[in-house]
Every structure is written in structure tokens, then in C-alpha cells.
Structure 1
Amino acid sequence: MSTDQLTGPHAPAPARTPDPGPGRRRARRPLSRRARRAGAFYVFVGPWILGFLGMTAYPLGYALWLSFTNSDGLSPNARFVGLDNYREVFTNPDTLNSLARTGLFTAITVPLTIVAGLFLAVLVNQPIRARGLFRTLLYLPAVVPPVGAALTFKLIFDRDSGSANGVLDIFGVNGVSWLADPYARYVLIMLTLWTTGNVMIISLAGLQDIPRELHDAALVDGASWWQSFTRITLPLLSPVLFFQVVTGIITALQTFLPLLIALDPSPKGVTAVPDSNYLIMIEVFSQFFANGRYGYASALLWVLFLFVMFVTYVVFRLSKGAVFYSVEPEQTKPKARTLGGK
């Protein structure tokens, strides 16, 4: 008789599967699609979050705390001084003058850069031979690192061995101290215009996005080139120009390259930034590393940050009615009404 036919007390007990327990049963349950997507999102965004907290949020918070102290960056015992640093920012003539020079520099360079970039974009957008070569040559200076460009301009405009004075000598003109007042500001403006290739590329992309049919229709209607440019091209290009204005203002207010190029070749080997190029970021650098006033320099940076935010807000407010978007915000659809009017 086989064991399967045994009955009674000698029959074998049926095999039992061990109970995995509630914890194991939950662990074996497959994850939902939403949970998997959320997990993948946090895995990919995790490094950025850690970098933001460690490299942005913490330095900002630490700089904000320093702005309320008299820290010199060396002594561990920084004393809390409240709003004294901020009061000094708005009463120090050197700081106010540097901020005024920065505003003037921004008001000059931003319009010049945008107009020059748009002019070059219109030129290289014409159907001419070797158009790609011209675009490459005009954009090439923008690829040069800013430090390299600044040092190159310093060599070109050197008072003793610069090529700029070499050209003047050909015409019998005495050498000019380009890196000293009052010419240093013009060198800085030329250096800013040197990188117009970035603006040209963005403007060129905006020009190529404008439908050709609009210009053809204007030509059929008898519109001149200038009328077509001012009434079709500029309005459709206004979002691109607005973007360049905002980014140009933010970049110009934080200009730091004068420290590398606008050095006054004064005697005894002493170098100093000319007054015309003593911008706000150079004042910050001087307070940090020359004077060791970390608290006051941090307050300067926060005032500059608030100033940039204020100027950006004003530009956004003034842009209403001047910037035309091809896609308007979606209008709220009216609710369907029944025959009874409800």
C-alpha cells in the first residue's frame, strides 16, 4: 500500500508552506508606477538638491549672517553689529559712487550690445556667399574665455608696448595711457562689445523664426524695408530683445573684468583701478581681500542682489505693452448654457 493511501494515526501530515509574515508580504508587493517614477525622479534630482544646499543655500545663508557681523574672515569671534554694515553702505561715498558708475556702465553697454548684435544678425541673415564663414568669425570672440580676452586687451592697450599706441605712432600721435583715466572706461566698453557674438546668435535665431510670408505680403503692399523692419521684425522680435535686456542688465551689474584690464601703470610698481572703472564688484573685492571686512563686503553683495532684483522688476513692469508674444495666454472658455438659460 502506498503512503498516499494510509489513513489513521500513521498517515503523514500534509506539508505546510511557512507564513512569510505581514512584513514580507508587503515587501513582495510590486511598487506602483507612480512610486517608481517618484523614486527615479528623486534619484536623478538628488545630486542637484545636494549641490544646491551645499553650494548655494548654505553660502547665501552664511553670507547673510556675516552681513550682520564685523567678521574679518580670520578671527572666529565675530561680533554681531546689527544693521551697521547696511547703514555704512548707504552712507559711504566710495560705495555710492561705485554703484553709480555701475549703473552708468550698464545704461551704456546694454543698449550698445543689443543694437550691435541685432545689426550683425541682420547682416549675416542676408542671402550672401560665405554666410556661414562670416557667422563663425563674428561669433568666435564670444568663445574666448573672459580672462583671456581681458588680458589680450590689456596687452593691446598697454602704454609702452601695446599695438594701439603703435598704430598711433604711425600717424605721429603720441602714446596714450589707455588703461588709466579718462580712457580706461572706453577700453572697458570695447571689451564688452567684443563679446557681441552671443547677442548676434540669439537675435539671428529670432530673425529666422519670423515667417517670410509676412515680409513678402508687406512688400506686395508697397512697404519699404524700414517699414517692414520696424512694424514686423521688431514687434515679433521683442520677446528675444526683452530676454537680452534682462540678462544683459544682470550681467553688466556684476561686471568684474575691469580688475584684470583697467590697471593704472603708476610708478613704483603700484597698480590701482582707475576711478572711471571702479565698479561695485571691485569695491566688494577690495573690502573682502584688501581690507578684510567680510561683514561689510557681504552686506554690499546683498545690497547689490536687492538692487538687481529691483531693476529686473522695473524692466518687467515697463515691458508690458512693448513685448508682443506670438502665443497669447489661453482665454477662459465660457461655460455652456442650457436651453433654459442656466
Structure 2
Amino acid sequence: MNPWLSQAMARIEADYQRSADTHLIALPLPRFAEHGIDLYLKDESTHPTGSLKHRLARSLFLYALCNGWIREGSTIVEASSGSTAVSEAYFARLLGLPFIAVMARDTSPEKIAQISFYGGQCHLVDTPSQVYDQAQALAQASGGHYMDQFTYAERATDWRGNNNIAQSMFSQMAHERHPIPRWVVMAAGTGGTSATVGRYIRYQRYATEVCVPDPQGSVFAAYHRSGDASLVGQGSRIEGIGRPRVEASFIRTVVDRMLEVPDIDSVVAMRALSALLGRKVGPSTGTHFAAMLTLAQEMRARGEQGSILSVLCDAGERYLPSYHHPDWVQRTFGDCTAAQARLDAALA
């Protein structure tokens, strides 16, 4: 084996061995628990780079290295709204490689600062739809490698096991009241994690269904209904999830249900969950929580018991000047009163 490649693989493996598994949090929601319905979040914010995308970045690097796409000195380029780029910048620095993130200009300054902290460069574009072509062009110009998370996310992770997120989630649920979840809720950015979870569930023959909550402006829900891969949309305002086009890694046939979640509901749910946990979470976690509450209400109305499992994607400190700032929310999404009333009704 090429000595540099062998060393690169060893460094990633050593980094993995230094990291413990992430925690499973049981949400204190007695109004549902008394009806036999339990809600859980796997806390992915505790990864070294602070988000669920740390797993994806590791898998993408290993996949590209094993395919011979990354060599010593290769410039790594990615199209990313933030968290994937932060994690890929971390692994690029680990291997001593240059990294360029192509992202929309309105990406949170906190994420841009984190990419820079890990030695990455940020190439900003005016609209999310420009990131793909710009990333490809930069990779070609530098003689480097375009990671292309939106194509390779669903195939870079071994969905059968190998301690992927699905296997970890189900192992941690083993001693809970309802160890096999009724639902796993997993929003889609690339679609890679929902594909991994859906495939793992079927491989293990679990009686669990996958629900993907989709924010406004994303095309995934419409694609799930129609199967039309040519659909385009405005793009999501919930950072990190939803897409303006159908991505190759989103596998609609492993998704049992889509739930379209209004942006304001995601923000209000984010605030409520932050208060419930005593620490701030990000907006995509709010989208997850809003969908979990909808499913829990439906189960309660039908007299069903069981568990609902999802992920805490990242910490809310990255979003203090935006999604956690009342004035910014008012300017961006409008009044929260009606959404807050819906959430209060769900929790009561």
C-alpha cells in the first residue's frame, strides 16, 4: 500500500478510537409517557466537530481514500451549508490537506469561523443552487477532489452495521421500555443518514418506520409523493436540512412517511426543546422535535404505545445571532404566536 495512504487511514482510525459513542437522551415528557409513549434523542452534538455530520465526513474521507480519489497533497472541495464542511475541514487538517468549502453567503458566521479554525477556506456564493458547479470547478482548477456529499453520502456508510448510527441507536435502546421504536425521525440534508437508517431497519427486520420531516422550500417531500427527480425548489431556510433539488443520496423508497414542517414550527420547537434540556439546540433539531410531537399526538389519539427516536443534530450556540435571536426570527419568519399555541397544545 502507498505509505501516505496507509498513514492517512491510520490517522482516521486513531481519531475514531479516541471518540466515545454519543449519548441517548430520554426526553422528560410525562404527558406522553403516561400514555406509554417515550421520546428519545441521540445527541450528535458531542462529536469533536459538534454535529451529526462528523460521522458523514469520516465516511466520505474513508470512501474517497479507499477509491484512490484522494492523494497526498490533494485539495479537498465540498459543497456544504456548514456542518459537513466544518467536519470535513477537521479531517482535512488531520491529514494535512487543503480544504475549500463552497457555501451560500447567508451561512451562519459561526460555522464559517469554525471552518477557518480548522484551516479551511470558505468560498461564498449568492444562492444555494450555485454550490455544486462552483465546487466542481474549484476541484478541477486545483487538481483536487470534490467530495460531493450529496451523491456519495448514501453509499459511503456501511448500512448493515459496523457501528453506524442506526446500529448504535438500536443498541442503546435495548433496555428501554419500548426497545424497538415505532418511528425513527430523520430529516434529510443529503439523505444519507435516512438511507442508512431505513436500510438497517429492513436488514434487521424491525417493525419500525422512518419518518423524514421536510422544511419549507425543500423538494424532498414533493419528490417522495411524485417520484419526479427533476423537481426544483427555493431551498430551505432551516440550515443543514432540505434541498432545492433532488439529491442522489436521498432514497425515497426507504422512507415510510414525509412530514412537511413549517419553518416557524421548527424554530418554536427548537426553543421549547432547548428549555426542556436546559441547553440550546439547533434549528434542524427543532424540525425533528416538531415531527416527533406530531407522531406522538397521533399515537396517543389512536391509543398506541411505543417509542419515537431521533437525533439532536448540533448545539444551538452556532445559531445565537440568528435562530435563537427573537428580532432575527421576527424579521425572517414572522410572528411566532400561532406556532407557539400549536406547540403548547401538543405538550399539554
Q: Pick the structure with more strand per residue.
A: 2
TM-score, with length taken from structure 1: 0.21
Q: Pick the structure with more helix per residue.
A: 1
- Higher RCO, Cα 8 Å, sep 6+: 1
TM-score, with length taken from structure 2: 0.21
